[in-house]
């Protein structure tokens, strides 16, 4: 059923917010504006309602939600906060700053991904505050974009992306900042910046003194565990490959060259004059650039050119948050020293397929040249070891080591709810079983060419993430158990 579009004007304002509040009370989902970006909200006390957020966004279960409040009593309802800290926050809130605090039991585990902390935000937007107040409950509300895609800064984009995924969309036009809130870990001292945003680091230091900067905050790295949104996964990315050239002179040189013809340049007003390729002008000052950034990413996706290229910006004030978003969104980063860094995992998928092929071919040759007396089941066990080792190499590249893999998997066991259990089960089968299960299914045919083909297929299935493909993998596992039991029997 299509979402209800709620207009915001003088005649319909109160009625629209009342309608949206009733949807929240009844366990539904509403897209609403804040001063930073649009949020996708549900009753923060209702686990089933919050599950709808994950489903609508295709959001990983280990990526926690932000809880928005409309008054300081609500802050005390959802989290533990001492009087001194609250006194400081009364100078800041409402505003684009989110605090990570120790949560109270009233907040369901699905909201916090099973952790004992919760992100709390008091937005500076009349529509958002009125919606929360009339709903009578805090609203869990991450940004309203689909997972990994650019955040929504215009209600038109919300309608385009989420029309069939949510119950209602408040149509309030463009937002003020265009970059998400700053997130500060207030559970330890010195306080730690986890995600830069619309509230500047300079202002944080004036309020709280020393501020530690998390290594993931600059946007070059991903955190191994998502304490808050925006830390672990690739975010904010357009569908087209976006290249970041950090050296401004090199950027100008590139966009003025013939090599840039297949690119669309995303640049400041000042650098637009150098572009011989198509261009999207972000603005002249850093606040205008922040306001237009995600809007430009979406415009890039509709552009005729295959690639995008973007410049870097000064990292003071809101610029730190802007550069975090750009780096997170970039397919490739060209550093000032000429070095490169890619966030894209496709090369590992290709590597996996190639290595799978080599392993399968090598195993077939070993069987016929050196181990011709092996029975089929023993051969399958050897193949399992080879394939599992291959997958472990991939996992190590992705997560950094065996301890990190273990941490990543066991972290999900702290989540409560069907979505979390499914995520854990799926990851285990996804990384260690796809090729093995396919090989096991065809084992009774005793034809080695099938081993090669199915190993390749396993590498390709490895990249898939649709629900039907997951179910097919489960079916293959069941079939594999049956065939293996026949082989043993």
Per-residue pLDDT band at 315 (split at 50, 70, 90):
very high
> How does pLDDT run across 326-366, given as a tens digit for each residue?
998 888 888 876 555 554 444 444 554 555 555 555 555 55
- Tell me what percent of the residues of the chain surpass a pLDDT of 90: 52
**In this predicted structure, what is the pLDDT of residue 373?**
53
Q: Which of 223-227, 309-313, 465-469 has the lowest mean pLDDT?
A: 465-469
Q: Which of 33-37, 67-71, 84-88, 414-418 has the lowest mean pLDDT?
A: 414-418
**pLDDT of residue 430 exceeding 50:** no
Per-residue pLDDT band at 113 (split at 50, 70, 90):
confident
**pLDDT of residue 460 exceeding 70:** no
**In this predicted structure, what is the pLDDT of residue 363?**
54
Between CA 65 and CA 44 the distance in angstroms is 9
Provide the b/e sequence for 441-454 (b: ≥16 CB within 10 Å). Answer: bbbeeeebebbbbb
**In this predicted structure, what is the pLDDT of residue 487?**
54
**pLDDT of residue 417 exceeding 50:** no
Per the model's pLDDT, the better-predicted residue between 156 and 374 turns out to be 156
> Using an 8 Å Cβ cutoff, are 32 and 20 in contact?
yes
> How does pLDDT run across 243-295, given as a tens digit for each residue?
999 999 999 999 999 989 999 999 999 999 999 999 999 999 999 999 999 99
Which of these CATH numbers, 3.30.470.20, 3.40.630.40, 3.30.365.10, 3.90.870.10, describes 4-213? 3.90.870.10
90: Cβ contacts below 8 Å, ≥ 6 apart: 72
**In this predicted structure, what is the pLDDT of residue 217?**
80
> How does pLDDT run across 217-251, given as a tens digit for each residue?
877 766 555 556 655 556 678 889 899 999 999 99
**pLDDT of residue 23 exceeding 80:** yes
Per the model's pLDDT, the better-predicted residue between 194 and 402 turns out to be 194
For the segment 15-39, the average pLDDT, to the nearest whole number, is 96
Per-residue pLDDT band at 128 (split at 50, 70, 90):
very high
**In this predicted structure, what is the pLDDT of residue 130?**
97
Q: Where are the domains of the chain?
A: 4-213, 241-342, 346-488
Between CA 383 and CA 363 the distance in angstroms is 7
**pLDDT of residue 169 exceeding 90:** yes
- Determine the topology of domain 241-342 in CATH: Rossmann fold (3.40.50)
Q: What is the mean pLDDT of the chain?
A: 78
| Beta-bridge partners for 66 | 119
For the segment 207-224, the average pLDDT, to the nearest whole number, is 79
Torsion angles phi and psi, residue 237, rounded to 5: -85, 135
**pLDDT of residue 461 exceeding 50:** no
Provide the b/e sequence for 383-418 (b: ≥16 CB within 10 Å). Answer: bbebbeebbeebbeeebeeeeebeebbebbeebbbe
| Beta-bridge partners for 67 | 120, 140
> How does pLDDT run across 46-59, given as a tens digit for each residue?
999 999 999 999 88
Per the model's pLDDT, the better-predicted residue between 409 and 41 turns out to be 41
**In this predicted structure, what is the pLDDT of residue 149?**
87
The candidate with the shortest Cα–Cα distance to 251, out of 342, 335, 328, is 335
């Amino acid at each position: 059923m299509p979402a209800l579009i709620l207009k915001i004007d003088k005649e319909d304002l109160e009625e629209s917010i009342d309608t949206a509040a009733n949807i929240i009370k009844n366990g539904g989902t509403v897209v609403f504006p804040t001063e930073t970006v649009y949020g996708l909200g549900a009753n923060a006390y209702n686990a089933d309602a919050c599950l709808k957020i994950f489903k609508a966004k295709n959001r990983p279960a280990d990526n926690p939600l932000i809880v928005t409040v409309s008054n300081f009593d609500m802050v005390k309802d959802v989290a533990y906060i001492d009087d001194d800290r609250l006194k400081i926050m009364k100078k800041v809130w409402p505003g684009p700053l989110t605090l990570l605090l120790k949560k109270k039991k009233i907040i369901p585990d699905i909201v916090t991904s099973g952790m004992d902390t919760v992100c709390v935000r008091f937005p500076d937007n009349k529509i958002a505050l009125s919606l929360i107040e009339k709903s009578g409950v805090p609203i869990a509300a991450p940004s309203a974009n689909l997972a990994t895609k650019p955040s929504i800064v215009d209600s038109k984009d919300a309608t385009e992306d989420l029309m069939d995924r949510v119950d209602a969309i408040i149509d309030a036009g463009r937002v003020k900042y265009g970059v998400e809130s700053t997130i500060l870990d207030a559970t330890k001292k010195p306080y730690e910046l986890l995600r830069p945003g619309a509230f500047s680091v300079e202002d944080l230091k004036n309020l709280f003194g020393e501020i530690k900067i998390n290594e993931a905050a600059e946007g070059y790295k991903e955190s191994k565990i998502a304490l808050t949104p925006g830390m672990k996964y690739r975010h904010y990315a357009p569908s087209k490959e976006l290249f970041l050239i950090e050296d401004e002179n090199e950027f100008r040189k590139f966009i003025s060259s013939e090599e840039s013809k297949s690119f669309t340049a995303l640049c400041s007003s000042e650098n637009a004059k150098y572009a011989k390729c198509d261009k999207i002008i972000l603005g002249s000052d850093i606040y205008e650039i922040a306001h237009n950034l995600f809007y430009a990413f979406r415009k890039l996706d509709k552009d005729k050119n295959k690639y995008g290229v973007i410049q870097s910006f000064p990292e003071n004030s809101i610029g730190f948050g802007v550069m975090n978003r750009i780096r997170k969104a970039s397919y490739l980063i060209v550093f000032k020293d000429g070095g490169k860094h890619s966030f894209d995992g496709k090369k590992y998928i290709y590597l996996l397929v190639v290595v799978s092929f080599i392993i399968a071919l090598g195993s077939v040759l070993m069987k016929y040249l050196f181990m011709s007396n092996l029975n089929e089941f023993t051969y399958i066990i050897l193949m399992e070891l080879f394939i599992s080792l291959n997958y472990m190499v991939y996992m190590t590249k992705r997560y950094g080591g065996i301890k990190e893999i273990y941490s990543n998997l066991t972290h999900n066991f702290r989540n409560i709810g069907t979505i979390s259990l499914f995520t854990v089960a799926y990851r285990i089968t996804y990384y260690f079983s796809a090729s093995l299960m396919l090989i096991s299914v065809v084992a009774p045919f005793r034809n080695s060419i099938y081993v090669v083909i199915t190993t390749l297929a396993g590498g390709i299935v490895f990249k898939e993430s649709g629900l039907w493909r997951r179910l097919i993998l489960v079916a293959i596992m069941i079939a594999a158990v049956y065939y293996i039991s026949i082989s043993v029997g």
